[in-house]
Structure 1
């Protein structure tokens, strides 16, 4: 819901940084993989019981997630780059709740399973929508120039990162916070399905 507004705020700075990185020889794929490595480091720190320390690599990973597209726009965009980016995003999104489950399976196991199931459902509705939109030649730049069609939703990347920051700051609140966020994921995916039904039935 907030991604479009967030992109308008951060894209100018990201594009400038992306052009500088490209001039230094950085590739978009390398930035994508660096972002994934930072995100997995954050998840590992969470699993080891240090969610506060995880905030730095977690936020750095999301900066890298914005920079890879900026580097691609400054050099050469490719379908492969977009595919790698979304795959790494989903790997990161799943790793953070898993980190909390591993840190305290007894306290966080049920809430973590519920949250991961909700992520799985919401991600499926997002990717399925993108496939059908591509099939119909639909395009949007509401969230910047993307290789995939990014459909709007109640919960998007901005809200998810805010949630991750919140649970890192208050790790003891993971079960109740996940119990709030997971249903919102299901609502977001369901709303997307309703929109897809209206758009893709014919």
Structure 2
């Protein structure tokens, strides 16, 4: 919901940094993998209870994730780059909540399982829509220039990162916060299915 409003604010800075990094020979795929590595490190920090470190690594990971697209636009975009980016994003989005479950399985296990199920449903609705949109030649740049068709919803990338930040700042609240976010994820997936029914039914 917030992505389309933030993109005009952050894209000029990201694109400027992207051109600089591309000029230094840094590739978009390298930044994608660096973002994943930082995300894995952030998740590991959560497991051991180092939530302040996890927050810093989380923000660094998402900065790298934002810069990979900017570098690609400044150099050369590829289908594989878009594929690698979304794969790494989905892996990180699963690992970070899982880390809270591993940190305290008794307190966080049930809420974490429900949250990950909602992520699975939301991700399936997102990728399925993108496949059909590609087949029909639909395009959208409201959330920046992407390799895949990005549909909007209650929860997008910005909301997910804010959710992760909140978890780092308030780890004891994982259970109720995760359940609320899971409910919103299911609602986002449902709204996307209803939109697909309207757009693709014919």
1:93 aligns with 2:93: yes
1:105 is aligned to: 105
Which residue is 2:148 aligned to? 148
- Residues 143-197 of structure 1 deviation map (CA, whole Å, 9 limit, x = unaligned): 1111100011110000000000001000000001001100000000000000000
For 2:74, the equivalent position in structure 1 comes to 74
Cα deviation, 1:43-98, whole Å, max 9, x if unaligned, reads 01001111221001100111111100000001000110000000000000000100
Provide the rounded CA distance (Å) in 2 between the counterparts of 1:9 and 1:127.
26
1:127 to partner: Cα distance: 0.3
RMSD (Å), alpha carbons: 0.5
Question: For the residues of structure 2 that align with 1:7 and 1:82, how far apart are their CA atoms?
Answer: 18
What is the SS of the residue equivalent to 1:187?
Answer: helix
Q: Separation in 2 of the partners of 1:150 and 1:179?
A: 25
Normalising by structure 1, what TM-score? 0.99
Equivalents in 2 of 1:125, 1:17: separation in Å? 32
Q: Distance in 2 between matches of 1:90 and 1:165?
A: 17
Q: Which runs of 5 or more structure 2 residues have no equivalent in the other structure?
A: none
- Unaligned 5+ runs, structure 1: none
Q: Distance in 1 between matches of 2:159 and 2:145?
A: 20
- Counterpart of 2:10 in structure 1 is 10
